[in-house]
Chain A
Amino acid sequence: MTKPTIRDVPLAPPPGNLSTTLAWGVLFIVLAWSWKGADMRPLDLLKDSGNMGTFARDFFPPDFREWRIYLEEMIITVHIAVWGTALSIICAVPFGLMSAENLVPSWVYQPVRRMMDACRAINEMVFAMLFIVAVGLGPFAGVLALWIHTTGVLAKLFAEAVEAIDPRPVEGIRATGANALEEILYGVIPQVLPLWISYTLYRFESNVRSASVLGIVGAGGIGVILHEVIRGFEYAQTAAVLLIIIVSVTLIDLVSARIRQLVI
Chain B
Amino acid sequence: MTTAIVVDHLNKTFPCCKALDDVSLSIDGGEMVALIGASGSGKSTLLRHLSGFIAADSGTVTVLGRQMQDKGRLAPNIRRLRAEIGFVFQQFNLVNRLSVMTNVLVGLLYRTSLVRSLLMRFSIHEKQQALEALAAVGIQQFAWQRAATLSGGQQQRAALARCIVQQARIVLADEPIASLDPESARNVMELLAQMNRERGCTVVVSLHQVEFAIKYCPRTIALHRGQVVYDGPSSALTPQLLGELYGSDVEELFDMLLDSPALKMPATAHSLQRVAV
Residues on A lying within 8 angstroms of B by beta carbon are 168-169, 171-182, 185-187, 190-191, 193
CB distance from A162 to the nearest CB of B (A): 14
B16 within 8 A of A: no
Question: Considering only CB atoms and an 8 Å cut-off, how many residues of chain B contact the other chain?
Answer: 32
* A171-B53, A181-B118 known; A176-B106 Cβ under 8 A: yes
16 new A-B contacts, CB < 8 A, other than A178-B109, A191-B95, are A168-B89, A169-B93, A169-B96, A171-B89, A172-B162, A175-B51, A176-B83, A177-B80, A177-B82, A177-B84, A177-B109, A178-B117, A179-B79, A179-B114, A186-B109, A193-B97
B207 within 8 A of A: no
Please report the C-alpha to C-alpha distance between residue A21 and residue B166 in the assembled complex, in whole angstroms: 64
Judge whether A169 and B110 touch: CB under 8 Å. no
Judge whether B79 and A185 touch: CB under 8 Å. no
B159 within 8 A of A: yes
- How many A-B residue contacts, CB cutoff 8 Å? 84
Which residues in A have their C-beta under 8 angstroms from that of B84? Answer: 177
Question: Could you say which of A178, A181, A191, A193 contacts B106, with CB atoms under 8 Å apart?
Answer: A178
Question: Could you say which of B82, B98, B114 contacts A175, with CB atoms under 8 Å apart?
Answer: B82
CB distance from B205 to the nearest CB of A (A): 15
* A172-B159, A186-B98, A186-B102 known; A178-B110 Cβ under 8 A: yes
B87 within 8 A of A: yes
Judge whether A177 and B81 touch: CB under 8 Å. yes
Please report the C-alpha to C-alpha distance between residue A178 and residue B103 in the assembled complex, in whole angstroms: 12
| Interface 0/1 of B202-243, CB less than 8 Å to A | 000000000000000000000000000000000000000000
B33 within 8 A of A: no
Judge whether B82 and A176 touch: CB under 8 Å. yes
Which residues in B have their C-beta under 8 angstroms from that of A191? Answer: 95-97
B263 within 8 A of A: no
Which residues in B have their C-beta under 8 angstroms from that of A171? Answer: 53, 89, 93
B91 within 8 A of A: yes
Interface residues of B in 71-124 (CB under 8 A from A): 79-87, 89, 91-98, 102, 106-107, 109-110, 114, 117-118, 120
**Nearest chain A residue, comparing its CB with the CB of B48:** A171
Judge whether B94 and A172 touch: CB under 8 Å. yes
Which residues in A have their C-beta under 8 angstroms from that of B93? Answer: 168-169, 171-172, 175
Please report the C-alpha to C-alpha distance between residue A172 and residue B104 in the assembled complex, in whole angstroms: 11
Please report the C-alpha to C-alpha distance between residue A187 and residue B87 in the assembled complex, in whole angstroms: 16
CB distance from B106 to the nearest CB of A (A): 6
Question: Could you say which of A169, A176, A179, A193 contacts B166, with CB atoms under 8 Å apart?
Answer: A176
**Nearest chain A residue, comparing its CB with the CB of B168:** A176
Judge whether B79 and A177 touch: CB under 8 Å. yes
* A177-B83, A185-B120 known; A172-B95 Cβ under 8 A: yes
Question: Could you say which of A169, A182, A193 contacts B117, with CB atoms under 8 Å apart?
Answer: A182
Please report the C-alpha to C-alpha distance between residue A177 and residue B82 in the assembled complex, in whole angstroms: 5
Judge whether B109 and A176 touch: CB under 8 Å. yes
**Nearest chain B residue, comparing its CB with the CB of A177:** B83
Judge whether B118 and A169 touch: CB under 8 Å. no
User: Can you give 5 contacting A-B residue pairs, CB < 8 Å?
Assistant: A168-B91, A172-B95, A175-B53, A175-B93, A193-B97
Pick from B114, B117, B120, B159 the residue with the most CB of A within 10 Å. B117
Which residues in B have their C-beta under 8 angstroms from that of A169? Answer: 93-96
Please report the C-alpha to C-alpha distance between residue A240 and residue B166 in the assembled complex, in whole angstroms: 65
Judge whether A176 and B95 touch: CB under 8 Å. no
CB distance from A198 to the nearest CB of B (A): 14
| Complex A-B, nearest 8 residue pairs according to Cβ-Cβ distance, in ascending order | A177-B83, A172-B93, A175-B87, A177-B110, A178-B109, A169-B95, A177-B82, A190-B97
